[in-house]
Amino acid sequence: MQEKIAIEKIDDTMSVMRLTRPEQITSMQDSLHRLGQLNPVVVRPARSGYQLLDGFKRYYGSKRLGWAELRAHVVEADEVQAKTMIMTYNQQGTSLVDYEEAQIVYSLHKEHMLPQKEIALVLKYSHSWVSRRIMLIERLDEPVRSQLQLGQITPTHARELVKLPRGKQASFVKLIIDHKLTSRQASRLVCLYLGAKSEEEQRYLEQQPLAALDRQEEEGDSNDSRLGKQANRLLRTTRQLINQQHIFIGQSSNPPLSELEEMESAILSDPFTNLLKKAKIIQSILKRYDSHEG
């Protein structure tokens, strides 16, 4: 059922399940101004009026424009069904990012006490998919989750920060915000921190993150004067391979590959097989440098 609803009667408390960045709202505001409301928002009846389930950017954009009402599709649903609907609506079109999915799953599990197997059944996902989403939330410190919600960092930043120990993520999220680090820079910084050989080196990375990143880039790209052109090319490529190896090991162990869904494993089978073939070729090329060889 569709009807026009006064914006002042719409409750946006479900927005905590979504990540809506300021630039996205600005883009929607421009679209609404030029084209009007093309699609209805989705709401459910609530004590104070109506609770918004889908169309948060349209809602915030229309408020900026000073609109009095929105076209809305009204559905009957309890709170558990409402959160499930947020997932359902966003499977059609622009999907939720993994952190948004995780927030919904975590809420169903912790707030509504639904077993993981039941959540998997309701959402039509595997048990391992549900488990991974819950683990993502549980592995993130509260300051990271808070800054994600405020739009100060991106979900890609968060995926890098989750590799850090609990208690250390807060200081790194501050580094990202203070120094305006990109997700790629954050990834490199986390990799350097996890590979640091001493507490002194770790402190340096936290105190001088940009200098550390610049130094790593210079060291990774610079030529060794003792080597010829071909040997320097090999040196640079080797450093790049080592860096990518660290990233691959981290991504394939957190969570482990054994927790991939059957479809995901099938899709990754060919590139993984190709990678294994290339690894064996590289191993045969470097065989004489293996200290275990006689």
DSSP states along 92-133: SSSPPPHHHHHHHHHHHHHTS---HHHHHHHHT--HHHHHHH
Predicted local confidence at residue 207, as pLDDT:
93
Q: How far is CA 117 from CA 109, 120, 246, in A?
A: 10, 5, 33
Residue 225 DSSP class: T
**Residue 12 within a domain:** yes
Q: What are the b/e assignments for 93-121, b being 16+ CB within 10 Å? A: eeebbebbbbbbbbbbbeeeebebeebbe
**Residue 150 within a domain:** no
Residue 16 sits in the same domain as residue 35: yes
Asked which of 76, 103, 121 is the last residue of a domain, the reply is 76
Compute the C-alpha angle 256/260/261, nearest 5°: 165
**How far is 157 from 194, CA to CA, in rounded Å?**
16
**Residue 144 within a domain:** no
In contact, 150 and 143? CB cutoff 8 Å: no
Tokens of 84: 């499930």
Q: Tell me which residue range forms the domain holding 208.
A: 161-219
Predicted local confidence at residue 56, as pLDDT:
93
Residue 85 sits in the same domain as residue 67: no
**Residue 153 within a domain:** no
Predicted local confidence at residue 104, as pLDDT:
93
3-state secondary structure of 160: helix
**Residue 152 within a domain:** no
Residue 70 sits in the same domain as residue 92: no
Asked which of 139, 170, 191 is the last residue of a domain, the reply is 139
Total domains in the fold of the chain: 5
**Residue 131 within a domain:** yes
- Could you tell me which residue, 97 or 157, shows the higher pLDDT? 157
**What average pLDDT score do residues 34-61 get?**
93
Q: In which band, very low, low, confident or very high, does the pLDDT at 208 lie, cut at 50, 70 and 90?
A: very high
Tokens of 62: 């229309």
* Closest by CA position to 50, among listed 115, 3, 120: 3
pLDDT in tens, 213-248: 887 776 655 567 677 888 888 888 887 788 788 778
pTM of the model: 0.63
Residue 220 Cα to chain centre, angstroms: 27
Residue 59 sits in the same domain as residue 84: no
Predicted local confidence at residue 291, as pLDDT:
59
Percent of the chain with pLDDT over 70: 93
Element (H, E) at 54: strand 49-54
Predicted local confidence at residue 107, as pLDDT:
94
**How far is 187 from 163, CA to CA, in rounded Å?**
10
**How far is 235 from 220, CA to CA, in rounded Å?**
9
Residue 55 sits in the same domain as residue 95: no
**Residue 48 within a domain:** yes
Report the CATH number at residue 21. 3.90.1530.10
Tokens of 177: 């915000």
Residue 234 sits in the same domain as residue 208: no
* Closest by CA position to 210, among listed 244, 170, 182: 182
Residue 33 Cα to chain centre, angstroms: 31
**How far is 139 from 132, CA to CA, in rounded Å?**
10
Predicted local confidence at residue 254, as pLDDT:
65
**How far is 142 from 20, CA to CA, in rounded Å?**
18
Asked which of 30, 50, 76 is the last residue of a domain, the reply is 76
Predicted local confidence at residue 294, as pLDDT:
42
Q: What is the mean pLDDT of the chain?
A: 87
Residue 211 sits in the same domain as residue 248: no
Residue 256 DSSP class: B
pLDDT in tens, 77-117: 999 999 999 887 776 544 568 888 899 999 999 999 999 99
Predicted local confidence at residue 179, as pLDDT:
92
Residue 71 sits in the same domain as residue 1: yes
**What average pLDDT score do residues 119-141 get?**
91
Burial category of 247 from C-beta neighbours within 10 Å (exposed 0-12, middle 13-18, buried 19 and up):
middle
**How far is 48 from 7, CA to CA, in rounded Å?**
12
- Could you tell me which residue, 289 or 129, shows the higher pLDDT? 129
Predicted local confidence at residue 218, as pLDDT:
64
pLDDT at 60 over 80: yes
**Residue 148 within a domain:** no
